[in-house]
A and B are shown apart, each in its own frame.
Chain A
Amino acid sequence: MLDLRDVSFAYEGSQAVGRITVSFDATQLIALTGPNGSGKSTLLKLIARVLTPHAGEIAFDGKRLRDWPAKEYAKQVAYLPQDPDPAFSMRAIDVVVSGRAPFLGRFAWERDSDYAEAEHALDLCDASHLGDRYLDEMSGGERKRIFLARVLAARPRLILLDEPLASLDISHVQQFSALLGDIVDRTGVTVLYATHDLNWAAAYSDRMLVMQRGVLARDAAPAEVMQPEVVRELFGFDAEAVSMNGRSWLVPRVGVSKA
């Protein structure tokens, strides 16, 4: 589906991501992890066509991104920035239906079928009851689900989420992670989401990408990443592995002096 080959990008001379080569197939929940500033957001923006690579090539279905008409690509790949914030508070249903924009002609208005898609997307996100509420009357977790419904409304094949779990409390992190897995299973979409929470990423994703200083340091199954020596090297995280329910969990090593 999506192939990146030697993709690099720099902000005003400072390299943000360098020579990334990776491929994504259908129906996967992929966690993009890495320390702050490791290039996760930049990588998502490059795939979303918010930024253009300075070197290398990105291809979707074998066709280079620059050869895709912008709106056609937007029907295939949907991106959710970290803190989406409409300047004026809107009703949830209007937010979600705006996800259908790539399908609208210049002067066209949404049709009933677009609203049906929006309501279907709200339903997928367990948010049907929120349709008529205003965004600024909602909790952070509710807003997250509305914006997830918005990216789903276009029925894309690849969804890119930038830090969707940030600023959620722990029960909402769990609900939202489970929701992502559920949506992948039910719709066959591939979700690539940035997060820096390793345990949650490992518990719910099928595959983990680890960025380190702009390069792709690991691309592996969660079990391979969740090793104390691996996370020490990649994240500088001093951890112990605890095995529970057949999974490896990383807990901080405490009581050890930094010496």
Chain B
Amino acid sequence: MSAATRQKRLIGGVALLALLLAIALLLASSAGATNVSWRAAMSGDVTARAILIGIRLPRALLAALVGATLAVAGVTFQTLLRNPLADPFILGVSGGAACGASIATAAGLARLPGVVPAIAFAGACGATGAVFLLARRREYTDPTRLLLSGLVLNAFFSAVILISFGISRQSDLTAALRWMMGTLFGATWSDVVLLTILLVIATATLASIGNDLRMLSFGEDDAKSRGVNVERVKLIGFITASIVTGAAVSVSGIIGFVGLLVPHLIRMMWRRDFRFLLPLCALGGGILVVLADLLSRIVVTSSELPIGAFTAVLGVPFFLSLLRRNR
């Protein structure tokens, strides 16, 4: 197989997934509790416009962005930590974000707009910083220490979250719990713009160290001997993936499974080279969360169900069937 054929395969994969993502977005913005159509919105129906462009489209787009972000972060962590079980939340990002959000709820701040996402993002950044400080010694970041620090901090955060819930007012708890389980309710265009910018910057940054990250999968000594500045690559990779994860979590709450599952799905369907995985995971993660969010809205009409449940409901059967096929 020539280099050109390999690149065509990547382009083909990107085109296919982009098409599927477009279809998923169209489906997600068309379906919902109210029956409105894009045709009506285009021909000047104000209500249809308000629902489709004001509510459903930003929500569907935000779902795609959150899914893309989590999958990109997941594949980065798996590559950096050389661990197939790594997910975007493994370094305490979700715990830190949830901790911030639950403290804000306990303090009665949950009703002020934008406060919970902001504090959640601060919590995510704080947790990442803490995990890094704990794992770093003598200018060396030990992957095992990173994992352990993330695990232990997540346990600590869980304790803080439980205590915060205990002292929160009953009326605030519903929103906090919904956030913890992942929700895109109330998505705005400004969320979409902000996360788009972050995701583009992060993906470009990760692509710029793509060759080095691929070499890291052979081990740190091996990569060093190939001229890779290993500590720099680890630092850039971890920080970039953590910041975008924090941003995604702050707008969507905690949506599990995407970051762990999508990279494995893509690996089984295409190649295992990080440079292939990056764009394909972004698209795959987007598709999964758009569909999961759609299901969470339409399965029952009386309320919304957690998105995280549907990423698993959709992803697991697909994953298992691929696992069986790949020996």
User: Which residues of A does B touch, CB under 8 Å?
Assistant: 45, 48-50, 69-74, 77-81, 84-90, 94, 98, 101-102, 104, 106-112, 114-115, 160
Contacts and interface: CB of A to CB of B under 8 A. Distances in A.
B207 A86 contact: no
B215 A98 contact: yes
Nearest to B211: A104
B209 to A, nearest CB: 8
B222 interface: yes
Contacts, number: 86
Contacts of A49: 224-225
Give chain B's interface secondary structure class.
Answer: helix
Interface stretch (B91-99, B122-130, B266-274, B281-289): B266-274
A74 B227 contact: yes
Contacts of B225: 48-50, 74, 77-79, 81, 160
Interface of B: 1-4, 6-7, 78-79, 82-84, 207-208, 210-211, 214-215, 217-219, 221-222, 224-229, 267, 271-273, 275
Contact of B217 (A74, A86, A115): A86
A84 B272 contact: no
A84 B3 CA distance: 25
Given A81-B222, A107-B208, A112-B2, A102 B227 contact: yes
Contact of B267 (A80, A88, A98, A114): A88
14 contacts: A45-B221, A48-B225, A50-B224, A70-B227, A71-B226, A74-B225, A79-B221, A84-B222, A85-B218, A87-B84, A89-B272, A101-B226, A108-B211, A109-B275
> What 6 A-B pairs come out closest when comparing CB atoms?
A70-B227, A87-B82, A79-B225, A71-B227, A74-B227, A48-B225
Contacts of A70: 227-229
A130 B231 CA distance: 33
A246 B218 CA distance: 42
A50 to B, nearest CB: 5
A50 B221 contact: yes
Contacts of A87: 78-79, 82-84, 217
Given A77-B225, A90-B272, A112-B4, 12 more contacts: A45-B221, A48-B224, A72-B227, A74-B226, A89-B272, A101-B211, A106-B211, A109-B3, A109-B275, A115-B1, A115-B2, A160-B225
